[in-house]
A and B are shown apart, each in its own frame.
Chain A
Amino acid sequence: MLSALHPLGKLVVCMIWIAAAVLIFDARFQIATIVIAALALIVLDRTSPVLVLALMIPFALFGFGFLTTSVLFRQESNFALRMAGESLLASPAFSAGITLFLRAIACGMVSALFALTTDPGAFVRTLMVHWRLSPQIGYSLFSAMQLVPDLAAEAQQIRLARAMKRGRPPRRFPGPFEMFRLVIPLLAFAIRRAGRAAIAMEARGLTPGAPRTVIAAPRFRRRDLAFIAIALTALVLCISWARSRG
């Protein structure tokens, strides 16, 4: 359901929510944000709960750095907290660390919600139509987005070729030394691909500054307005709840 929404509506809601998570230094608000984002993914977008949990791991590790800094280095943590611009709710360093920890996860979950429910192609098309993103930059973004999985496919082919020379099947995951040896050929592949994509686009008429049609650009519908209204109402309720308990 979330995937069918207009990318810009989602982007605006997510940016507002991330800004609120940064500005409101309250553990309950951060927890509410995490729960709402996770539930939206699991219930409305049918994302696997395991995937949602797995996505939390890198953000949790990042947040854990704040937690340890707060607990183990109180002086430095004051500095870190001042830098973050918040005022503590008269709690010890540990609770401040927990809030920072939750904030990292909350921001991560909101970002994941946008990334998992938005087709990158539709997003770029929307930017070209509504925010006048130049087609040159838009299609460069297209190519760059496509390059990531293609690099993986190319890496697999190179690994197969090298495994053949070694005389045994490749391991499922490459080791650090093998990764290092893949860097140069993959870089060469990326440069070649970029050059080819540029020539292909030019040969097919992509001209700077010329009027062009953008097909299949998402359109704003009533459901997008409803989504924005519901999301912002939920945000206001969460803020009010956090303030009332504070």
Chain B
Amino acid sequence: MPSEPHAPDAARPAHWQDVAVRYPFADKAAVGPVKLTVEAGERLLLLGPSGSGKSTLLQTLTGLIPQSIPAHVEGSIRLFGQPVKERKPSGWAATVAQFFQDADQTLCGMRVEDEIAFALENRALPEKLIAQKVAKAMRRVGLPEEWRPRRTMTLSGGERQLVALAATLAQDAPLFVADEPTAHLAPEAANRLHRLLMETNEARSVLIVDHRLDHLIGLVDRVAVLGNGGTIVAEGSPGALFRDKRDQLDALGIWRPLASFLDAELQKVGLAPADPPLAVDDAIRHLEGASSAIVRKARTAVAAFVAANSARPFEDAGEQEIVARLVAADCAPFLGPTVLRNVSVDLRAGEILGILGANGAGKSTLGASLAGLLKLKRGRREGAPGGIAFQKPENQFVAGTAREEIATSLPRSALRSDHARQVDEILAAWDLAGPQDRHPFELSQGQKRRLALATLTAGDRWPLLVLDEPLAGLDANGAAMMSKHAEALRNSGRAIAIITHDMDFALRLCARSVIVGEGGLLAEGPTAQLLFDAEILKRAGLAEPAIAPAMRWLERAPEC
């Protein structure tokens, strides 16, 4: 039976009542018991640490769990007042548009045009109407017309995510569910899509899971937080939650928007705004026109906040040896055509270099070329080979358990007892002791990412490390862990290149960056300068970091 669109009525769009999910052979529930409601027209953000069961909970919504993915589900789940189990998962497609964590889970492997039309074809809509809806969805998401005949699997990770979003938006369902929709998107595209997803519409409710909060948080109505035990531990309006439950969220390893950190600093000096801020601008707006005494007091707080979120300058750059260098290089993906021309860049010991750019600009190709893993089409590379943490961590795994994966990445010469001890230490350092005996493919996205980084940084084999989107899938604790390890590696003299879409992360960790775009390097220099060059950011399809208003305020505010 084709699913009929469900007119949103007084009934709640989604309601979980004491729902708990346990996978076969698991010794404890993956999530639950959970009681959660999405109200009509509401935009609800669901947060939780890595592995807390957010994705599992979303998959119960239309019955994919347990009808397609085996699991034992307790409690009741209702969509628009109707028990979910009354229909097959496919029967809810016109009511619920689902965007899964991995774009490959949303896409079926067809051409871009077919992917976007697929759900509409399944509803037997007239061909003309489908064509209109496809064109509209492509325009809204900003997909170029020439992408229509392209196969989705030939697109980059971020581009696939855009297509998946267009396909989900085209469904025009009264309930939109998105699991990390912007994880691999460049800032400009991510901000645009956040606005698109969260635009006010009484006829549409949105349930979203996302870690990139800085531009999203101002658009949500309510936040619910899943704890490590898989139960809801906090719920409320975003402003109040991030101010009142700050310590609890930090303890759980849940991302907070930057404004919340600035709010905390201002609270220490008694100058926090009356209403909890959701953007950095909101946190300092009340300081405009304040007396010089207040500004002086606030300045220390804002300066501390900016310092904590800015990279340490790379001192004595000229004295450090060059670990890897590309000279007039033409870079191409493995067995692919040239995507970057005439690239010259070097990386010194003890330096963290940011590689920034829009989706599909060639950042991963540059990273792999820098590591010496891809043969150059022209030009030359100098330096020792480097290691890469790939965008898809699964590609790096070769062993049967997480523990073995780390054990095989350590030098074999160590004594067996030392070897075991080293493995234990690495597992503990990356918070992987719990799932150490599980197959790497069974881990959560965040755990997979941590395992891939742990194997790469174990031992001192590579003087150069390239980390491709290291934050994807990580919770705040995982990201902090990653930053700490990266800084420790830098301090030990290793060179690190970080490919990222998170401009604040780049600013915090990378003293220098290169911006990739237009088939080559658009710019190279200190990150703090590049990310405030509006023209370069526009050409590269990037956006300035969320911290920018605080930095500008500091420049304006008198020092004494």
Contact = CB atoms under 8 A, between A and B. Distances in A.
Interface of A: 121, 139, 142-143, 146-147, 149-150, 153-154, 156-164, 167-170, 172, 188, 192-193, 196-207, 210-216
The 6 closest A-B CB pairs, nearest first, are A205-B93, A205-B122, A146-B109, A204-B119, A210-B2, A207-B90
Interface string B166-208: 0100010000000000000000000000000000000000000
Contacts of A170: 334, 373
A205 B334 contact: no
Interface stretch (B110-118, B275-283, B418-426): B110-118
A156 B373 contact: no
A212 B371 contact: no
A210 B122 contact: yes
B64 A202 contact: yes
A207 B127 contact: no
Most buried by B among A156, A159, A169: A169
A160 B365 CA distance: 12
A142 B110 contact: yes
B374 A210 contact: no
Of B90, B167, B372, most A-chain CB atoms within 10 Å:
B90
Contacts of B111: 121
B121 A213 contact: yes
Contacts of B334: 156, 159-160, 170
A206 B118 CA distance: 8
Contact of B395 (A161, A192, A196, A202): A161
Contacts of B398: 162
A40 to B, nearest CB: 24
Contacts of B375: 169
Interface string B288-314: 000000000000000000000000000
B373 A163 contact: yes
B90 A202 contact: yes
Contacts of A215: 114, 117, 121, 127, 130-131
B357 interface: no
Interface stretch (B213-221, B385-393, B429-437, B552-560): B385-393
A197 B392 contact: no
Q: Is the interface of A mostly helix, strand, loop or mixed?
A: helix
A206 B64 CA distance: 13
B444 interface: no
B121 A202 contact: no
Interface stretch (B100-108, B228-236, B347-355): B100-108
B441 interface: yes
A199 B69 contact: yes
B100, B113, B123 interface centre (most CB from chain A within 10 Å): B123
A127 to B, nearest CB: 15
Interface string B353-375: 00000000000000010011111
20 contacts: A121-B114, A146-B109, A146-B110, A157-B390, A157-B395, A160-B334, A161-B388, A164-B371, A164-B373, A168-B385, A196-B102, A196-B105, A197-B108, A202-B68, A204-B118, A204-B171, A210-B2, A211-B124, A212-B121, A212-B122
A149 B153 CA distance: 9
B62 interface: yes
A150 B109 CA distance: 9
B253 interface: no
Nearest to A197: B108
Contact of B388 (A143, A164, A196, A203): A164
Contacts of A156: 334-335
B108 A201 contact: yes
B246 interface: no
Nearest to A172: B335
A197 B375 CA distance: 34
B41 to A, nearest CB: 23
B158 interface: no
A213 B89 contact: no
Given A153-B153, A172-B335, A210-B1, A196 B104 contact: yes
A34 to B, nearest CB: 32
B477 interface: no
A204 B102 CA distance: 15
A179 to B, nearest CB: 16
A154 B396 CA distance: 11
B144 interface: no
B105 A199 contact: yes
B125 interface: yes
B98 interface: yes
B318 interface: no
B467 to A, nearest CB: 13
Given A202-B68, A210-B1, A169 B374 contact: yes
A213 B93 contact: no
Contacts of A214: 121
Given A157-B392, A157-B395, A161-B395, A213 B124 contact: yes
B151 interface: yes
B383 interface: no
A175 to B, nearest CB: 16
A70 B361 CA distance: 58
A142 to B, nearest CB: 6
Interface in B378-422: 385, 387-388, 390, 392, 395-396, 398
Given A170-B334, A199-B64, 5 more contacts: A167-B385, A203-B90, A207-B3, A215-B127, A215-B131
B77 to A, nearest CB: 15
A168 B371 CA distance: 10
Contacts of B68: 198-199, 202
B371 A206 contact: no
Contacts of A146: 109-110, 151, 153
A188 B396 CA distance: 14
